[in-house]
């Protein structure tokens, strides 16, 4: 959590827009916790020790403030989780860097799976409804959250999006987080599963550079494998690097563009939904 990347965006700038639904567009104000962080310093938690390391000279109250913010977020995430469980919704939080292909994977998944399993989508981006427009074209209900300068979704934003989205019972809910491998790791949304997506046009050392996000993911999807012959990306190296920061995550290799490997992703979704119901 940091101020220079936009986490301190005033809450009033966060909007929720409805796309592909019958309700007219709405703009909803998010919770107030973000505004409290304005003008504060910048620190990063140490993954190795869990001890906060101050990068700049800081207000010593910062750590307590951030603990309070994360505590409040966790409480709201638990409420979201209760909502999902009551409606038998499997919620998946999709996290990755920008350009990994989250939206492309969702488009294909929705087109090929939603006749079998009802799906709904929450889209998170700083600006535009571009991704929600793409999702709406598949026929799936979708709500776009624009975070302004904010670099992640939080539980309060998701909670506000759930009311207009009203995802059906016995369904999958895909929450596409803002493209960012840092701050989304800290914010639970109430999801049952966190899915980290990495494309082969990125480095296979990403898990070492951004350990928190990969440590927190139960599944790692490796996208764009059709480009493997053209890029210096090693699946073996990726698996090795993952093993250094995570506990045996499920790895699914696919190409959302060609469709290679997507059946394994669909089967994993089916199996996880079934076990989630049990």
Burial class (CB in 10 A: 0-12, 13-18, 19+), 83: middle
Q: Which stretch binds Mg ion (CB under 5 A): 22-30, 31-39, 59-67, 95-103?
A: 95-103
- Specify the DSSP class assigned to residue 201: T
- Specify the DSSP class assigned to residue 79: H
Q: Which stretch binds Mg ion (CB under 5 A): 101-109, 188-196, 200-208, 260-268?
A: 101-109
Nearest to Mg ion of 76, 183 (CB atom): 183
Nearest to Mg ion of 131, 154 (CB atom): 131
Burial class (CB in 10 A: 0-12, 13-18, 19+), 48: exposed
Binder of Mg ion out of 9, 103, 180, 246 (CB under 5 A):
103
| 96 sits near Mg ion (criterion: CB under 5 A) | no
d(CA 244, CA 27) in angstroms, rounded, equals 43
Q: Which stretch binds Mg ion (CB under 5 A): 127-135, 143-151, 191-199, 269-277?
A: 127-135
* Residue 104: CB minimum distance to Mg ion, A: 8
Nearest to Mg ion of 94, 217 (CB atom): 94
Q: How far is residue 91 from each of residues 128, 143, 172, 179, 222, measured CA to CA in Å?
A: 23, 14, 6, 18, 20
Tokens, residue 202: 């990125």
* Residue 123: CB minimum distance to Mg ion, A: 7
In three-state secondary structure terms, 16 is: strand
Q: Which residues contact 148 (CB under 8 A, 6 or more apart)?
A: 6, 9, 13, 14, 15, 126, 127
* Residue 98: CB minimum distance to Mg ion, A: 8
**Number of residues in contact with Mg ion under rule CB under 5 A:** 3
- What is the chain's alpha carbon radius of gyration, rounded to the nearest angstrom? 18
Position of minimal CB gap to Mg ion: 103
Q: Which stretch binds Mg ion (CB under 5 A): 77-85, 87-95, 96-104, 156-164?
A: 96-104
Nearest to Mg ion of 95, 222 (CB atom): 95
Say how many C-beta atoms besides its own lie within 10 A of residue 243's C-beta.
12
* Residue 223: CB minimum distance to Mg ion, A: 12
| 131 sits near Mg ion (criterion: CB under 5 A) | yes
* Residue 131: CB minimum distance to Mg ion, A: 4
| 109 sits near Mg ion (criterion: CB under 5 A) | no
**Contacting positions for Mg ion (CB under 5 A):** 102-103, 131
């Amino acid at each position: 959590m940091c101020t220079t990347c936009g986490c301190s965006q005033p809450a009033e700038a966060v909007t929720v827009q409805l796309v592909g639904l019958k309700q007219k567009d709405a703009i909803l104000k998010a919770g107030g916790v973000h505004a409290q962080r304005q003008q504060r310093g910048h620190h990063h938690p140490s993954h190795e020790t869990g001890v906060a390391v101050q990068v700049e000279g800081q207000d010593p109250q910062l750590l307590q403030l951030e603990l309070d913010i994360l505590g409040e977020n966790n409480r709201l995430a638990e409420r979201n989780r209760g909502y999902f469980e009551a409606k038998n919704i499997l919620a998946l939080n999709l996290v990755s860097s920008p350009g990994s292909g989250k939206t492309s994977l969702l488009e294909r998944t929705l087109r090929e799976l939603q006749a079998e399993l009802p799906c709904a989508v929450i889209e998170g981006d700083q600006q535009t409804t571009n991704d929600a427009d793409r999702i709406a074209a598949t026929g799936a209900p979708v709500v776009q959250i624009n975070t302004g300068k904010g670099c992640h979704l939080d539980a309060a934003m998701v909670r506000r999006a759930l009311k207009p989205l009203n995802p059906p019972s016995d369904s999958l809910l895909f929450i596409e987080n803002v493209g960012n491998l840092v701050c989304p790791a800290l914010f639970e949304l109430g999801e049952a599963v966190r899915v980290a997506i990495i494309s082969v046009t990125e480095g296979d050392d990403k898990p070492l550079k951004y350990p928190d996000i990969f440590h927190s993911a139960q599944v790692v999807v490796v996208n764009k494998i059709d480009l493997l012959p053209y890029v210096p990306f090693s699946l073996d190296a990726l698996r090795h690097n993952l093993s250094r920061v995570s506990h045996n995550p499920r790895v699914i290799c696919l190409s959302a563009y060609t469709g290679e490997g997507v059946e394994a992703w669909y089967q994993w979704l089916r199996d996880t939904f079934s076990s989630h119901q049990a």
